[in-house]
Structure 1
Amino acid sequence: MMTLSISALKKMIPQNRMTFGVELPLDTDWSPEGLKQAKQEGRPFGVPNMERHAEYARLADQLGFRSMWIRDVPLFDPYGFGDAAQLFDPFAYLGYLAAITQDIILATGAIVLPLRHPYHVAKAAATIDQLSGGRFVMGIATGDRPVEFPIFGVEAEKKGEIFRQSVHLIKEAWKKDEMLMDNRLDLLPKPVQESIPLVMAGRGTQTLDWIVQHLDAWFNYPRGIESTERQMAEWKKAHERQGLTEIKPYISAFHLDLHEHPDHPATPFKFGATIGRNELVRHLKRLEQIGVTHMAFHFRHSQRPIPEVLHELAEYVLPEFRTCD
């Protein structure tokens, strides 16, 4: 079994230019028209329209987006959170996406480790890495929905400790040069990559020093310029305390309603904005200067069709950040 010389994270973020991905589901359900359609169909708020999910996933891959992110939401909570993510189980869905895409990096944002046994996670993740040819990056988190922990028999106050233990066990299970359980049992398959990159989503009750020491990147929630700058300063200081000169990737997201007029100024809303592509480029370049290395676009607020927006981004926005890889 050959090991890839370049990790999926390095392929996703090859150098110090911002690269771009998409967040699933690729729907417009949070736009005024989308809300109206969902009501007509009897779909609760937060349950996506998945009719064209495969078509849109293939299109994002073909247009050159670097990554495709999906979330881990085991139980739909219409009253507390109202968001069912991409509806499908993340690992089962990743297997499907691996089969219908060619180049795009498949990523989770994020697997809730305290709610899953670490060896199940390790096996599922290595399976996805094999099926995709080494295109998997696993974002991980402790979980932020209190209602789920007692249902899964987990003490919420211990989630941070469980998270750290799970990271250790998962990494051990992926090792290729030794077996588990005193050389008597092993967990197969092994990843194609040397080790699947692990990305922290949020803080997960961990210190930044622990994240820098044990994980490969940080996926932070969408923030404004000044707030992102403060987060980036903390991230860099954590590297300095660990004696590291190379800063690990800082990843974020942007909830995008791309206006049809290229020069439309930004009209902010939570986690994003209605914005024309020219102002979007200027905003993204400011974030790139701060140190953000990868941005995942979230389209559920979009008032324009998904294919139209993906094509415009691929034609006008992505080339502004072209890398040389």
Structure 2
Amino acid sequence: MSVSALKKLIPSRRMTLGVELPLDNDWSPAGLQRAKKERRPFGVPNMEHHAEYARLADQLGFKSIWIRDVPFFDPNRFGDAAQLFDPFAYLGYLAAITDHVILGTGAIVLPLRHPYHVAKAAATIDQLSGGRLVMGIATGDRPVEFPIFGVEAEKRGEILRQSVRMIKEAWNKDQMLFDNQLDLLPKPVQDTIPLIMAGRGTQTIDWIVQHLDGWFHYPRGIASTQHQIAEWKKAHEDHGLTEIKPYISAYHLDLHEDPNHPPKPLKFGATIGRNELIRHLQKLEEIGVHHLAFHFRHSQRPIPEVLHELAEYVLPEFHHSNE
């Protein structure tokens, strides 16, 4: 029996820390100026150093690298192209250039993809990475995309539930598909690839708890996060589950050079010094956040510099050598 990538991601009760791609600071003042000079629209990152920075995150001991699924760039309503590259093709590349870091999707928009294509692509990534995939899934939040793909937006929740069932069946190593006549290969290295809901996906918390392996939710304040985790735990209790499945979040980080700089709020994060950041992360850990991914697009400092500082001072407060 192989060790689940989710167990590798969160090996103990301690919160672990990862990164969210793109590893670019294109939303910072300097990044905006650079994009203007390079004639890149807002929301389109510079991916020139993407491989170098991904390797660095892996080498420095970050637990995860998360990427998003954004089929179409919508500059007028969303202005965010994520990491540009197709998630599954890119995950195959990342699997080849990293050794330890968990590869996560935050998240694959299931209603816009055939579930068997998703199952085959994900199992391929799991094989290529040696069992390092955690697949976040979602229904999608960009209305313009649904008619392009011929999908009825109002049915996206139902489509997601059906897709989850079909994907799990395709990964089953003990039974072939379609009356035992056909099979979908390869199978995952893991017994099954962990499925994490990103956001609510038009589902109830009860359904998420019953059918998936964790919950990745948007960054929010301590009090709001604590209330949400309380709901998450109650759903487990209501279904007689004694082990709480992982609650995962993110944080938009502009790490200030002054270690004691007080937090200056950003949407979904803050400009903050490392000591104040550590205190904030400790509060998140106390209320039940299991894993958190740093997002650096607001960062006013070079990405490698920030990664090194986090690895030297912040990761040791949460990660331990035996993990």
With structure 1 as the length reference, what TM-score do the two structures score?
Answer: 0.98
**How many angstroms apart in 2 are the aligned matches of 1:75 and 1:322?**
37
**How many angstroms apart in 1 are the aligned matches of 2:102 and 2:318?**
18
1:41-56 equivalent positions in 2, closer than 5 A: 41-56=38-53
Say whether residues 1:253 and 2:278 are aligned partners: no
Partner in structure 2 of residue 204 of structure 1: 201
**How many angstroms apart in 2 are the aligned matches of 1:297 and 1:242?**
32
1:60-209 equivalent positions in 2, closer than 5 A: 60-209=57-206
**How many angstroms apart in 2 are the aligned matches of 1:266 and 1:121?**
40
| Alpha-carbon displacement from aligned partner over 1:279-310 (angstroms, at most 9, x marks no partner) | 00000000000000100000000000000000
Runs (5+) with no aligned partner, structure 2: none
Report the 3-state secondary structure (helix = DSSP H, G, I; strand = E; otherwise coil) of the residue aligned with 2:118: helix
**How many residue pairs are counted as aligned between the two chains?**
322
Q: Which amino acid is 1:83 matched to?
A: D
Question: What is the CA-CA distance between 1:121 and the residue it aligns to?
Answer: 0.1
Question: What is the CA-CA distance between 1:17 and the residue it aligns to?
Answer: 0.4
Partner in structure 1 of residue 291 of structure 2: 294
Partner in structure 2 of residue 269 of structure 1: 266
With structure 2 as the length reference, what TM-score do the two structures score?
Answer: 0.99
Question: What is the CA-CA distance between 1:245 and the residue it aligns to?
Answer: 1.1
**How many angstroms apart in 2 are the aligned matches of 1:68 and 1:272?**
18
Where in structure 1 do 4 or more consecutive aligned residues deviate above 2 Å? 322-325
Q: Which amino acid is 1:94 matched to?
A: L
**How many angstroms apart in 2 are the aligned matches of 1:316 and 1:68?**
19
Partner in structure 1 of residue 280 of structure 2: 283
Question: What is the CA-CA distance between 1:269 and the residue it aligns to?
Answer: 1.1
Say whether residues 1:57 and 2:59 are aligned partners: no
Superposition RMSD on alpha carbons, in Å? 0.6
| Alpha-carbon displacement from aligned partner over 1:242-268 (angstroms, at most 9, x marks no partner) | 111111000000000000000000000
Alignment partner for residue 237 of structure 2, among 232, 237, 240? Answer: 240
| Alpha-carbon displacement from aligned partner over 1:49-96 (angstroms, at most 9, x marks no partner) | 000000000000000000000000000000010000000000000000
Runs (5+) with no aligned partner, structure 1: none
Alignment partner for residue 215 of structure 2, among 194, 218, 227? Answer: 218
**How many angstroms apart in 2 are the aligned matches of 1:35 and 1:57?**
22
| Alpha-carbon displacement from aligned partner over 1:90-111 (angstroms, at most 9, x marks no partner) | 0000000000000000000000
| Alpha-carbon displacement from aligned partner over 1:208-266 (angstroms, at most 9, x marks no partner) | 01000000010010001011011011101110111111110000000000000000000
**How many angstroms apart in 1 are the aligned matches of 2:174 and 2:227?**
41
**How many angstroms apart in 2 are the aligned matches of 1:229 and 1:177?**
40
Q: Which amino acid is 2:289 matched to?
A: V
Q: Which amino acid is 1:255 matched to?
A: H
Question: What is the CA-CA distance between 1:322 and the residue it aligns to?
Answer: 2.5
Question: What is the CA-CA distance between 1:272 and the residue it aligns to?
Answer: 0.4
1:300-319 equivalent positions in 2, closer than 5 A: 300-319=297-316
Q: Which amino acid is 1:202 matched to?
A: G
